[in-house]
């Protein structure tokens, strides 16, 4: 979980993780209300499972004292949220919803209550963006931008190598090798994420490789065209870059041409440059 450390939060680490995990969703409240309903009114044998899960986890994996001392020792702070998957909140809420519906004897009443409970879930919940809200439809069966497919074709037509080394200036870097693994990426995924400010991929400030790739990222991703030209060319040489793929709207195209990059193709949104022979 990004930005959450035991060193800063101490004993409140578990609570903050829970808050970030549920992020305003009140399902845990419904879950606890259901358990209380069971304890004080409608006792059912099968529902005891939710109670013992809560108690056991509260005493162990969600115990702030244990977490405070053990989790840092096994270097599991970033992944601690995965322990929250163990708590059966969603099956629990669904179980109590079905039990409520079952209390009604008449079929029409059952249907109406089920629809009402569904409405409560939708209104109080947070829809998954891109799925339950503003569905993000894939452009093609490969789930990559159509432009990437054109760019890969262009590079292979132009290149004499079977595995050309390519710089992608944007998120195409993340999907390129999924679609076309014959492309060798110059910019490493973790270095890109670190350069973008991620705190969970590690600290590469002192790594020589990172510093070399950072020069390239500064120009093609962050449009820092005041970067020393000789340093930029040296980075391209050291990384044996063959091609650069840069968004048309970036303002580094003149810089790239001056650095010796030759445009070989242009798609709707990208320019493909060849570097070197």
Partner 1 sequence: MRELMLVPIDIILELLVFFCTGSLLMRVLRMQAETTMAVFMGYLLYFVVFEAVAVPMTLKWVSLTHFAWFWAAVMAAAVFAGGIFLHRQWFRQIGKIGEVFCNHSWLLLLTAGVILLQCMMVAMYQDNTADAAHYIGSVSTSVYTDTLARYNPLTGALQKKFNIRYDLSAYPMHNAVWCRLLGIHPIVQAKIAMAVINVLMINFLVYQIGKKLFDQNVKKADLFVIFVCLLQLFSYSLYTSGTFQLTRCYEGKALLANVAIPAAFLASLGLWLDKNTKNAWVLLFLASVSALTFSGSSIIYPAVVSTAVLPVMLLKRKLSWAIPYALCMVPGFLYAAVFFTSKLGWLVFPAS
Asked if 90 interacts with partner 1 (CB under 8 A), we say yes
Which stretch in 22-30, 153-161, 230-238, 247-255 sits in contact with partner 1 by CB under 8 A? 22-30
Two structure tokens written together for 65: 């004292």
User: ∠ at Cα 22 (21, 27), nearest 5°?
Assistant: 145
Cα gap 265→158, rounded to integer Å: 9
Which stretch in 133-141, 218-226, 229-237, 245-253 sits in contact with partner 1 by CB under 8 A? 133-141
Asked if 202 interacts with partner 1 (CB under 8 A), we say no
Of positions 35, 93, 245, 272, contacts partner 1 by CB under 8 A = 93
Cα gap 263→247, rounded to integer Å: 12
Instruction: Report whether 6 contacts 19 (CB < 8 A).
Output: no
Asked if 27 interacts with partner 1 (CB under 8 A), we say yes
Of positions 5, 16, 22, 253, contacts partner 1 by CB under 8 A = 22
Q: Shortest approach of partner 1 to residue 263 CB, angstroms?
A: 25
Q: Per CB under 8 A, which of residues 159..188 are in contact with partner 1?
A: 163, 171, 173-175, 177-185, 188
Is the Cβ of residue 128 or residue 230 nearer to partner 1 in the bound state?
A: 128
Asked if 125 interacts with partner 1 (CB under 8 A), we say yes
With tokens 């320019």, the residue in question is: 271
C-alpha closest to that of 11 among 84, 71, 85:
71
Q: 212-251 mask for partner 1 (x: CB under 8 A)?
A: ----------------------------------------
Phi, psi angle pair for 129, to nearest 5°:
-65, 140
Q: Shortest approach of partner 1 to residue 118 CB, angstroms?
A: 6
With tokens 């606890």, the residue in question is: 32
Is the Cβ of residue 5 or residue 225 nearer to partner 1 in the bound state?
A: 5
Asked if 16 interacts with partner 1 (CB under 8 A), we say no
In the sheet with 270-274, reading across from the earlier edge strand, the strands are 184-185, 165-168, 243-247, 270-274, 262-266
Asked if 102 interacts with partner 1 (CB under 8 A), we say yes
Q: Per CB under 8 A, which of residues 41..80 are in contact with partner 1?
A: 45-46, 48-49, 52-53, 55-57, 60-61, 79
Burial 31-59 (b: 16+ CB within 10 A, else e): beebbebbeeeeeeeebeebeebbeebee
């Amino acid at each position: 979980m990004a930005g959450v450390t035991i060193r800063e939060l101490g004993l409140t680490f578990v609570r903050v993780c829970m808050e970030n995990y549920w992020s305003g969703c009140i399902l845990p409240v419904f879950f606890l209300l259901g358990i209380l309903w069971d304890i004080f009114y409608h006792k059912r044998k099968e529902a005891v499972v939710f109670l013992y899960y809560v108690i056991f986890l509260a005493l162990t994996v969600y115990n702030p004292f244990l977490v405070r001392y053990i989790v840092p020792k096994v270097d599991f702070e970033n992944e601690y949220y995965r322990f929250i998957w163990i708590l059966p909140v969603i099956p629990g809420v669904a179980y109590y919803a079905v039990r409520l519906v079952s209390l009604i004897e008449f079929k029409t009443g059952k249907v109406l209550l089920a629809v009402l409970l569904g409405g409560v879930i939708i209104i109080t919940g947070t829809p998954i963006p891109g799925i339950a809200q503003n569905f993000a439809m894939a452009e093609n069966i490969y789930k990559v931008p159509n432009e990437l497919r054109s760019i890969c074709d262009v590079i292979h037509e132009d290149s004499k190598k079977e595995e050309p080394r390519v710089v992608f200036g944007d998120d195409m870097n993340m999907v390129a090798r999924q679609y076309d693994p014959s492309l060798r990426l110059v910019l490493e995924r973790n270095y890109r994420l670190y350069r973008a400010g991620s705190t969970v991929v590690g600290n590469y400030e002192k790594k020589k490789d990172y510093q070399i790739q950072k020069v390239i990222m500064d120009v093609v991703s962050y449009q820092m065209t005041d970067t020393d030209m000789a340093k930029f060319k040296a980075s391209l040489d050291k990384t044996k870059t063959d091609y650069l793929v840069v968004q048309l709207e970036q303002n580094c195209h003149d810089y790239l041409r001056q650095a010796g990059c030759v445009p070989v193709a242009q798609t709707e949104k990208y320019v493909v440059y060849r570097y070197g022979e």
